[in-house]
Structure 1
Amino acid sequence: MALGKPRQKTRREQAAASRRKVLRAARDAFLESGYHAATMAQVAERAGLAVQTVSYYFGTKPKLMSELITATMRRAMGEVAPVDRESWTRSETTATDGGTLVDAFLTEVHPVLMSVSPLMDVARIGGLTDPEVRDVYVFHENWRKRDFAKLVDAINRVGSLREGLDVRTARDVVLTMLSPDMYRVLSVDRAWDSEQIELWMRHSLKQLLLRKP
């Protein structure tokens, strides 16, 4: 029996496929060339599409960068933010010591940090001279500040915060230790693998944030 013709993709499916191609091409272009050197034309060429198509789907290069970071985060998170996942929220409400909270938080956050950090570093550098890109970076950094503060708040609630360390400073410590800048230094400059980085982050946060047993 002859096989039927394969089903034609709908316009929506074709558009979604094209958007995915552009995002993959944009990631490669931004990471290889940096924000300013990468052009929409280069992204379009890598994606095998017309530059007008890329502009139609994403508008400007800053908007493309923002959507790329968001899409990368969603893919790493599985559509659910680390601080909204059941494993973290359960630990947040039931843990009685700071070490358990640090471990639970890193388990959820590290995969996202590993995926997004290279792009955030590109956006940070691009934002030094481009206000629109700076806005992209600040938007995503504000998300990180809001969610990462939950680790410190949970540690403080169980009474495990190190003596003499106030909540504001503790939040700054977490944001610094779990930052795209720190991840770049360790993964690129020091050539650490992801397992080394995660173990170091767990150990360092416990040493810096938690009171001695």
Structure 2
Amino acid sequence: MTDTTGRRAYRSDLRREQAEATRRRIVDAARPLLLERGYAAATMAEVAAAAGVAVQTLYAACPGGKAGLAKLVYDVTLAGDARPIPQAERDEVRAIVEEPDPARKLELYAAMASGVAARIAPLYQVLRAAEAAAPADAALHDVLRRTDEEHRAGARGPAAHLSDVDALRPGLSVERAADQIFALTSVDVYARLTQLCGWTIDEYREWLAATLRANLLAGYA
């Protein structure tokens, strides 16, 4: 009997690599179009042409059409790449978990959150502007609602981790700690400080780390 296990694994890996490459091409093509032309003006046909894929391929990669495309671009921009790797398994997160000093954990977290905010802010603002201009676009509204929900859910991870290592200040629940992390790392706060107040990303990162320490850790208030 012929052993086909290795052949199946090879085909599966190849399909995964091809899917990742397609997602990268789509995102690399769509992001500048969305940023330069806006959500409403950028068309699926233009994105497909720029990515070098068929329109049908684009729709298959982005269930939900234009809103699905926006979510794909948002997710890849947020992660920094198109690899389907869970956040908890990424190097930056693992470094935070493995760091023994709670204050240093928050410095590393602030550095990671600053990088994410810098990457995602331009796209987030374009999508928010499109939502304001077209309040009846339920699909876009749902995408933005989900991004906020995912951000809030993601904030619970570091809060729970600090609780697990007995680093949260007395009386602060995981839920309230997560709410503070969610608010402090919001794109709106980042944009106000860096765009309106003129802070550098380094100044934002240092402020975020100091504010997180003061609000979350025992002995830093």
Q: TM-score, normalised by structure 2?
A: 0.69
Does 2:75 match 1:70?
A: yes
Structure 1 residues 88-111: Cα deviation after superposition (integer angstroms, max 9, x where no partner): 34643662x531221232344432
Please state how far the C-alpha of 1:38 moved relative to its aligned partner.
3.7
The separation in 2 between residues aligned to 1:45 and 1:165, in whole angstroms, is 52
Task: Output the aligned Cα RMSD.
Answer: 3.7
Aligned length: 203
- Matched AA of 2:121: S
- Give the structure-1-normalised TM-score: 0.71
Contact 1:76 1:111 in 2 (8 A): no
Once the two structures are aligned, what percentage of the paired residues are identical?
28
List gaps (5 residues or longer) in structure 2. 1-16
The 5 A counterparts of 1:66-145 are: 66-76=71-81, 80-86=85-91, 88-89=93-94, 91-92=96-97, 95=100, 97-128=101-132, 129=135, 130-145=137-152
Q: Are residues 46 and 205 of structure 1, via their aligned partners in 2, closer, same or farther at CA, if it must alter by over 3 Å?
A: same
Separation in structure 1 between the aligned mates of residue 98 and residue 165 of structure 2, nearest angstrom: 10
CA distance in 2, matches of 1:191, 1:78: 33
1:162 aligns with 2:186: no
Quote the residue 2:8 is aligned against: none
Distance 1:87 1:65, change over 3 A: closer
Q: Which residue of 2 aligns with 1:193?
A: 200
Q: What is the rounded CA distance, in whole Å, between the counterparts of 2:107 and 2:156 in structure 1?
A: 15
Answer yes or no: is the 8 Å Cα contact 1:35–1:126 preserved in 2: yes
Query: SS state of the match for residue 199, structure 2?
Result: coil
CA distance in 2, matches of 1:18, 1:76: 12
Mapped partners of 1:52, 1:127: distance in 2: 26
- Of stretches 63-72 and 137-146 in structure 1, the one that deviates more from structure 2 is 137-146
**Cα 1:190–1:141, aligned 2, differ >3 Å: closer, same or farther?**
same
Q: Is the Cα contact below 8 Å between 2:20 and 2:83 reproduced in 1?
A: no
Q: Structure 1, unaligned stretches of length 5 or more?
A: 1-12
